[in-house]
Structure 1
Amino acid sequence: MAVTSVEKGNVESGVVQTPVPEIEAPASCIGSRHVQVVMLFLLITLGYGMRVNLSVGIVAMTDPTVNPGMPTYDWDDKPTILSSFFWGYVIPQIGAGQLAKTYGPKWFLAVTMFISSLFTILIPFMAELGSWGVIACRIMQGLAQGFFFPSSHNLLGKWVPPTERARMGTFVYAGGPFGTVLANPTTGWISASSLGWPFAFYIYGAAGLLWCVAWIYLGKNSPSDHKSMDPIERKYIETSLGQVDNKVVPPTPWKSIVSSLPVWAILIAHSGQNWGFSTLLTNIPTYMGKVLGFDIAHNGLLSAGPYFAFWVLSFVFSGITDYVIMNKIVSVAVARKVANSIGLYVPAAALITLGLISDTDSDISDITLVLLFIAVGVNSSCFCGYNVNHIDLSPTHAGTLMGITNGFSNIFSIIAPLLVQFIVSDEENPQQWAVVFYIAAAVSIAGNTFFVFFGSGEIQPWDSIEPNENTIDPPKEKEMEERKHSNGQRY
C-alpha cells in the first residue's frame, strides 16, 4: 500500500499537477501513531469525565432525599459552581499552545492531568468548607485542562498523516462526548448507591493518575522522539506531513493571525458552539430532574444518552466529510461549512422547538428527550467543521490557533451557565428554561452564519516559515508554499 502526494504549481491557465514520489505506508494496520491517538482519546475522555461528573453529582450533593446516608449541602449558587471550571480553563489556552510548540506537549500533559486528578479527589473534602471550596477545586481543574486541547492539536499535527486527519482527529475529540456518556450514568449510579457521591470523584481522580503513569512511558512529542517505532512508519508520517529534521521553532505571526478573517470565523463559530454546548452540558441533569421528574439514577443514564448520540454520529459525519473532500466532490471550505451548518443550525432548530413546546401544559417528557438527543447529537458535525479548520489554515501553528479560539470561546462557557442562574429562578418552571433555549439557539445561528460567510479551507500565506540561515534556503520558500497549498486543497 502506498500514498501518492501531488505538488501543484500555479500557471495562467489553472493548476498543474506534478507527481511526487510515492510514500510507502507501513504494512501493519496498528502502529505507534495509533498508540498516541488512543492515549489522547483517553486523555480527553477522562478530562471530560472530571469536568461533567459534578453536573450529576451536585444533585446528590444538594438533595438529602437522594441518599440519606451521605452529607448534603444547602447551596444556592449551583450554576456558579458548575461554571467555575471555565474560569480557570480559559486562562492557559494561548500560552499552552505556545509552550507545546516550543518544548513539546508530553510533560505538560502529564503534569496537568496529575493536577486535574488531584483536585478531583479533593472535591469531597473541600465541599465541607462550603461551595467556595468546590469552586476552588473546579478552577484548578480548569487551569490544568486548559492544556489538553492545544497540546492534543499539536500532537495530531505531528503524528497524523493528512489522509488520516479527519478520522483520527474525530476519534480523539470524540473522547469528550464519550467521557460524558460514561460520567453521567456512572456518577448517578454511584451517588444513589451505598458508596455515595464522594466515590464518583475518587474513581475519576484515580483513573487520571493511572493515565499519567501510562503516558510517561508511552507518550512521545513526535515520531523523531520515538526510538523504537517502525522506521517505515516514521518515514511514512514525516514524509506525508513534509516534516524535516529542524530544531528551529518557527516564530508565531501574531499580527497576521489577529488580522485573519478566517481565524475570526473559527473563533466566532467556536464561541457559538460553546455557548449552546455548555448550557446543555451543565444543565441537562438539573432540567431532567426538576422539569421532567427523573430520579438521580435514571437522570444520569438519560442525560448521558444525547452524548452517546453525539459520539456515534461524530464518526458518521467525519466519514462523510472525509469522503467528499478526498473525492473532490466539494472543496475543503465548502465541506467544512456544510458540516458546521449541520452541527449548529439543526441543534438550534431543536432548541427553538423545545422552547416552544415548553409553553404548553401537556406532558412533554418524550418529545423533550427526542429534541435533546437531536440538539446534542447532531452538534457532533462541528468536529468536521471549525474544530479541524485550524489545521486547514495553518498546520505549523495549529496548536496556537486552537489555544486562541478555545481560550476566548470558553468565556461563553462561563457566561452561559451563569445566565441560567439569573433567568431560571424556579428550576421547575419550563417557561423560564424556554428562554435559555432560545438564547442558546440564537447564539449558535449567529456564530455559524459568520463562519459560512468568512471561513476558509486553504492554507494561509502566514503559515509559511520565513527563511533565514537556520531554516531553509530562500529559493525553496516558494516551493514550500506551493506544497503546503497543495496539501490544503487536497485534504
Structure 2
Amino acid sequence: MAMDIKSKFAAIRIRHIQVLFMFLLLTIGVGMRVQFSVALVAMTDETASKNPNIPVYDWDNKSILLSSFFWGYSALQIIAAMLSRIYGSKSFLIGAMAINSMACCLIPLAAEYLGANGVMISRAVMGLSQGFFYPSVYNILAHWIPPSERAQMGSSALAGGSFGIITGMPITGFISASWAGWSYSFYFYGTLGFLWIIGYYYLGASTPATHPNISKMEQAFIENQMDMNGAELKVPWKAIVTSPAFWAIFVAYIGQTWGFQTILSELPIYMNKVMKFNMETNGLLSAAPYLTMCLIIFLSGYLADFLINKNYLMVEQARRIFSFFASFVPATALVVLSFLPEDYITLCVVMIIIAIGLQGASSAGFEINHIDLSPNFAGVLMAICNSCGEVFSNLGPLTVHFIVTDETNKAQWRIIFLAAATSYIVSCGIFLTYMRADIQPWNNVNNIVKENENDKNERYIVNKIV
C-alpha cells in the first residue's frame, strides 16, 4: 500500500505543480471577483445576517458597483502580457496577488468610511491587479505544457476560474448569513491570496529552465516538443491584427464574455428577487451551475487530448466541436429559461445549470486556441482578447442597470437572457467560420514538432520515462 502511494506521488512532475498553482491562482482570484455579487446582497439587506450589528448600506447603484471591478481589469493586460513574456511571469503574479489581496481586505473599511465610492475604488484596484492573472497564466502554460498535454493540462489550470465560482458563492453566502457577517468574506479571501504568494514563491517558476528542482528528463520532455525563445522576438503586431484566425478568437471572447459576465454578476440578484431564494440557498444554487462547468472543463480537456492523440480528430476539428457545444447549447437553454414561469423552479434551475455548465467545453475550444496559433505570443493574444472582451462585458451589468428597473420583473430579465443567447450564437458562428489550429507563420518558431524518425524515437523514449 505504501509503495502504491509512493509511486503515485512519484508520477507528479514539476509541470503538474505549476498547473496546480495556476489553478489555485484562478480559484482565489475569480473567487474574490464573484464573492462580491453575493456579499453585495448582504451589504444591502438588513435581514441577511444573524448579527443585527452588521452594517447595512442603502445603495441603489448595485449594477455599477458590480461592474467597477472591470474598470481596472482591462487596463494593463496587454502591458502585463508583454512584460511577463520578457521578464518572466512569476514576480508579476506575486506582486499582482499582493495588491489584489490587500485591496480585498480593505473593502469593509472602504465601505464604512468612503461608502459606495470607496468600494468602487477598491474593486477597481482589484481588477487592475487581476489584469495580470490570465495573460501570465497563458505565458506559463505555453512554456510548461507540451502540445500532447495542451487541452487537458490547460483545461485543468483554467478550471480554477469555475472552481472559484463554485466555492466563492456558497462560502460567501454562508459567512454573510452567519454571525460574523459579510465583512469576513473579504478577510477570508485576502488571507487565501497571501497564502498563495508564500507557496508560489518557493515552488513556482516562469519556465522549466528557471526551476531549481526540475529533472533533466522532464525538462527535455517539455522542451523537445516546442521551441520557446519568444522573449527574444518582437511582437508582430501587424501580422496579429491582420490574422483572421486571431480575430476569430477575439470575436468568440467578446461574445462569450459579454453573456457570461452578465449571468455571473447578476444571477444571485435574479435568484433572490425573482426566484425568491434566501442568502444561503442563493449561494448554493448559484454555485451549482459552476460545479457542472468545472466538471465539463476537466472532461473536455481530457476528451479533446484523447481524441487528438488517438487521431480520431484533428486539432482544428476538436476546437470547433467543443466551441460549438460551449455556445449553442447554453444559448438554447437561456432562450428556454427566459420564457419559463418563475414558479417552475426545478426546470429553471436545470436551464441555468445547462446555460452555464456547458460553457466549460470552451476550455478545449477557443480558450486554448491562442497557444495553437502562437506559443510564443499566447499571453499577448490572451491579453488582447481578454482585455477587450472585458470592456464589452461591462455592457452586460450596465444593460441590466438600465433595462431591469424592477428586479422582480421577469419580462425585463427576459431581454437580458435573450441578448446573452444572441451574443453566444453570433460570436461562435464567426469563430467556426474563420478559426485555425496550426501554428501561424508570425510565431517565428521552428521545429515545434520534429519530423525525422530520430527525433520521434527520442520523444517516445522521454515520454515513456516521464
Shorter chain as normaliser: what TM range?
over 0.9
Alpha-carbon offset, residue 27 of structure 1: 11
Give how far 1:330 is off. Answer: 2.5
Alignment of 1:380 with 2:360, yes or no, is yes
Structure 2 spans left out of the alignment, 5+ residues: 1-7, 456-466
Which of the residues 91, 109, 118 maps onto 1:107? Answer: 91
Aligned to 2:313: 330
Q: Which secondary structure does the structure 2 equivalent of 1:240 belong to?
A: coil
**TM superposition score normalised by structure 2:** 0.92
The answer to which of 407-416 and 171-180 deviates more is 407-416
2:55 is equivalent to residue 71 of structure 1: yes
Residue 419 of structure 1, CA deviation: 0.5
CA distance in 2, matches of 1:459, 1:39: 27
Q: Is the 8 A contact 1:86 1:410 kept in 2?
A: yes
Partner of 2:195: 210
TM-score, scaled to structure 1: 0.87
Matched residue of 2:58: which SS? coil
**Match in the other structure for 2:295:** 312
Partner of 1:37: 19
Structure 1: 4+ residue segments shifted above 6 A: none
Counterpart of 2:277 in structure 1 is: 294
Q: 2:404 is matched with which residue?
A: 424
Unaligned runs of 5+ in 1: 1-25, 466-478
Q: For residue 109 of structure 1, what is the amino acid of its counterpart?
A: L
Q: Distance in 2 between matches of 1:352 and 1:276?
A: 13
Matched residue, 1:23 = none
Which residue, 416, 419, 425 being the options, matches 1:439? Answer: 419
Match in the other structure for 2:44: 62
Partner of 1:193: 178
Residue type of the alignment partner of 1:348: A
Deviation at 1:327, TM superposition (A): 2.0
**CA drift at 1:237:** 1.3
Count, aligned residues: 442
Query: Identity over the aligned pairs, expressed in percent?
Result: 43
Paired residues of 1:101 and 1:249 also in contact (CA < 8 A): no
Residue in 2 that maps onto 1:406: 386
Alpha-carbon distance between aligned partners in 2 of 1:109 and 1:72, rounded to the nearest angstrom: 34
Which residue of structure 2 aligns with residue 48 of structure 1? Answer: 30
Q: Aligned to 2:343, which of 339, 350, 363?
A: 363
What's the offset of the Cα at 1:482?
A: 7.5
Q: Is the 8 A contact 2:226 2:449 kept in 1?
A: no
Equivalent residue, structure 2, for 1:347:
330
| Amino acid aligned to 1:241 | M
- Residue 130 of structure 1 pairs with residue 115 of structure 2: yes
Task: Determine the structure 2 residue equivalent to 1:238.
Answer: 223
Aligned counterparts of 2:331 and 2:12: Cα–Cα separation in 1: 39
CA RMSD of aligned residues (A): 1.7
Offset of 1:324 from its aligned partner? 1.9
The 2-side partners of 1:223 and 1:139 are apart by 34
Per-residue CA deviations over 1:369-405 (Å, capped at 9, x if unaligned) read 0100000100101111110000111111111111111
1:462 pairs, out of 418, 431, 442, with 442
Q: CA deviation at 1:139?
A: 0.5
Out of 94, 118, 140, the residue aligned to residue 155 of structure 1 is: 140
Equivalent residue letter for 1:408: C
1:97 maps to 81
* CA offsets 1:458-486 (integer angstroms, 9 cap, x no match): 11111115xxxxxxxxxxxxx647859xx
Taking the aligned partners of 2:290 and 2:129, their CA distance within structure 1 comes to: 23
Query: Is contact 2:44-2:56 (8 Å) kept?
Result: yes
String of CA shifts for 1:21-65, please: whole Å, max 9, x gaps.
xxxxx9941111111111111100000111000010000000111
Distance in 2 between the 1:279 and 1:316 partners? 25
Give the superposition deviation at 1:249.
1.5
Aligned partners of 1:93 and 1:31: how far apart in 2?
Answer: 30
Query: Counterparts of 2:356 and 2:431 in 1: how far apart (Å)?
Result: 20
1:198 is matched by which residue type in structure 2? S
CA distance in 2, matches of 1:377, 1:110: 30
Amino acid of the structure 1 residue aligned with 2:40: I
Change (3 A) 1:457 1:345: same
Is the counterpart of residue 451 in structure 1 residue 431 in structure 2? yes
Give the Cα–Cα distance (whole angstroms) in 2 for the partners of residues 334 and 173 of structure 1.
21
Which residue of structure 1 lines up, in the alignment, with residue 126 of structure 2?
141
Secondary structure of 1:410 counterpart: helix
Task: Flag the structure with higher helix content.
Answer: 2
Per the TM alignment, residue 438 of structure 1 is displaced from its structure 2 partner at its CA by 0.3
Structure 1: how far apart are the matches of 2:448 and 2:167?
44
- Equivalent residue letter for 1:382: S
Q: Could you tell me how far apart the structure 2 residues matched to 1:430 and 1:69 are? A: 34
Could you give the per-residue CA deviations for residues 246-277 of structure 1, whole angstroms, max 9, x where no partner exists? 69611110000000011000000011110111
CA contact (8 A) 1:317 1:339 kept: yes
